[in-house]
Structure 1
Amino acid sequence: MNWKYKALLQRLLAIIPFGEKVNFQLQKFSGGNKLSHVDEYVNSGVRIVKLLIENGFVDIKNKQILEVGTGWLPTFPILFSLLGAGKIYTYDHVPHLRFTMTKSTLTQIKKSFPFISKQLGITVEKLEDKCSKAMNTEDLTRLFEFLNVQYRAPEDATYTKIPDNSLDLFFSYAVLEHVPENIVIGLTQEALRTLKQGAFYYNYIGLHDHYVSFDKKITKVNFLKYPEWLWKILAKNKITYLNRLRNSQFVKIIEDCGFEIVSINTFVDSKSLKAIRKMKIDKKFSDFELEDLATTCSEILARKTIV
């Protein structure tokens, strides 16, 4: 089906009363928040922990962590809690979480305990002990209290009121592409303020046209065709937002805010690169390198400089 139908429906939901609730039901029906995504997030969470350890993050135990963008499935906060994190703050601008889905997320994570144990050296018994106790809770508040997770939604993650120099990790996963550029800057500045010296700022960013999963006829760089005025109509609202920033722009923002880049892992999609060479892109993107435009995902790890 043509992706513009979905874009216009989401724009409509963004302006009508109870649009978020309707969107939740549509996501549930279409599988947009299906539990199969939990396995992917567990794999990513394990990879993040290993990347951090490789770069001097000694142990996740008792660490203070902040996540931006909880979403529908709180996989990362639950996983990091099971691994022994001290306190986890998770922020979202919309309170998407439901107790039943959160408990189902925990159940799904449990299936990956052998994998987590093998990759990170924590015993399955230790994971199962904490998990079983969490499963006995009766509502979302009690579940998160047991896991030392503070769910803050709706709240502004650019102004957290968390003390200066108190966090060990400030991170987001597939979030920064969904907020305006000034919010990306605000989040990065807040990360710099709240992180301890030498602590880490991690972001995984999906740089592709997300409508490609809905419309198989378009490419991952399809959205680079459109002028900004039209793109604002199609995909810049409170239900769906794609800022179209490129990897080089995210790197510049992070560096300009005062962070030291530790590592950057990117994927340049060959099909997107081929498409870029043939398609007419909007003038907004005319000064970018082709590889930058065809980069469809990026993993950026940065460190707060020790002074």
Structure 2
Amino acid sequence: MHWRTKGLVQKVLGLHPAGAGLHYRLQCRFGGLTDFSRELATKIEDWTIMVGHLRAAGMPLAGTRMVEIGTGWYPTFPLACHLAGAARVTTFDLTRHLRPELLRRCVHELGGFIDTIATAAGVDGEEVRARHVDLRAAIDAGAGLEEATGGVVRYCAPADATRSGLADGEVDVVFSNSVLEHVPPDVIRAMYRESRRILGARGLMFHSVNCGDHYAYVDRRISQLNYLKYSDRAWRFWNNAFLYQNRMRAHEFVDLALECGFRITLDTSTTRPQRLRELAEVRVHPRFAHVPAEQLCITSIDLIAEPAA
């Protein structure tokens, strides 16, 4: 599909009263929900990467109090954290995407990842398996997410993660996966400040950001740097309610965290030769002229930040 076709379809759906329902059906037929099993496996792979980074930073999952920003269609990360023994996971989403049929399928298919979850988190596999048996039985009996997890996972949507309602210092980890690239910069700043408030003195903030042009996933004729061609005004036309992209570069997520009172302990951003070659083929708009090519071409970053003293 041509990326402009996708953009226009989503633009129209975002303006239609029934657009959310139509968008969900299109996602099931043509989009990210067409191959649920593959998508779930990818999310679990991302989860294991996050857990590895957190453990390396001295933050085990067992007994941890966590906040997720951006739940999505189904709560893979919160449920995997629950199975690994997290004490509490509060997950926020601006829009209520979660659907019972997707939740049930997610729970069922997580049964195939028991060993992966246990190994990644460094916990006993039988404990993970026992939690999954209880979780699956509760979901199959009609329980909601919070009830099925014994109160561990709390789903807040529609909700504003910049006003979490949580107490100062009551959280150990705030995290997101492929979310911040879809959030306006001023809102990211507010999220960081709220994270700084609710994190304990030894808490951590983890974000994995995919800051390339997401239209490239549906149109192989363009690269993940394609959207750097456009002015802010032109890009506003292609942004829409279902695929907003802020076009922030990797270093800007780090700079904002520093501005909001964090110290960076992990920054995986890397300049890759392939991206430099792709950038050379893009007529970059003057709006990005101040960014060195080595930074402009980076399309992903995992970062960990801790409250500065």
1:29 is matched with which residue? 29
Greater Cα offset, 241-250 or 274-283: 274-283
| Residue 240 to residue 190, structure 1, CA distance change in 2 (3 Å) | same
Deviations 1:234-268 (Å, cap 9, x if unpaired)? 01x32110000001111110000000000101243
Task: Tell me whether 1:67 sits opposite 2:68 in the alignment.
Answer: yes
Kept in 1, the 8 Å contact 2:135–2:149? The answer is: no
Bigger drift between 168-177 and 101-110 goes to 101-110
Task: Quote the residue 1:290 is aligned against.
Answer: 293
Match of 1:158 among 162, 180, 200: 162
* Aligned ranges 1:187-266 → 2 under 5 Å: 187-235=191-239, 237-266=240-269
Give, in whole Å, the separation in 1 of the partners of 2:31 and 2:13. 18
SS in 2 for 1:95: coil
How far apart are 1:110 and its partner, in Å? 1.6
Structure 2 CA distance for partners of 1:134 and 1:112, relative to 1, 3 Å: same
CA drift of 1:157 comes to 0.5
* Alignment of structure 1 residues 1-307 onto 2, 5 Å: 1-33=1-33, 34-57=36-59, 59-137=60-138, 138-141=142-145, 143-146=147-150, 148-235=152-239, 237-305=240-308, 307=309
Q: 1:208 to 1:109 in 2, by over 3 A?
A: same
Cα distance in 2 for residues equivalent to 1:189 and 1:12: 34
Residue 88 of structure 1 and its aligned partner are, at CA, apart by 0.6
Shift, 1:52, TM fit: 1.3
Range with greater deviation from structure 2 (140-149 or 112-121): 140-149
Work out the CA distance in 1 between the residues paired with 2:10 and 2:62: 40
The letter for the 2-side match of 1:94 is T
Task: Describe the SS at the equivalent of 1:72.
Answer: coil
Q: Residue 144 of structure 1 contacts residue 151 of structure 1 at CA under 8 Å; is this kept in 2? A: no
Identity %: 27
Measured at CA, do residues 69 and 142 of structure 1 come closer, stay the same or move farther in structure 2, by a change above 3 Å? closer
CA distance in 2, matches of 1:173, 1:82: 18
Coordinate RMSD, CA, aligned: 1.5
2:150 is paired with a residue whose SS is: helix
User: What secondary structure sits across from 2:91 in the alignment?
Assistant: strand
Instruction: Classify the secondary structure of the residue corresponding to 1:96.
Output: coil
Return the alpha-carbon distance in structure 2 between the equivalents of residues 142 and 191 of structure 1.
Answer: 22
The number of residues matched between the two structures is 304
SS of 1:35's partner is: helix
Residues 284 and 272 of structure 1: CA distance in aligned 2, closer, same or farther (over 3 Å): same
Q: CA deviation at 1:123?
A: 2.7
- Of stretches 194-203 and 27-36 in structure 1, the one that deviates more from structure 2 is 27-36
List runs of 5+ in structure 2 lacking aligned partners: none
Using the size of structure 1 for normalisation, the TM-score is 0.95
* Structure 1 residues without counterparts, runs of 5 or longer: none
Q: Which moved more, 1:97-106 or 1:194-203?
A: 97-106
Select between 198-207 and 26-35 the one with higher mean Cα deviation.
26-35
In structure 1, distance between residues paired with 2:146 and 2:298: 42
Please state whether the residue corresponding to 1:146 is helix, strand or coil.
coil
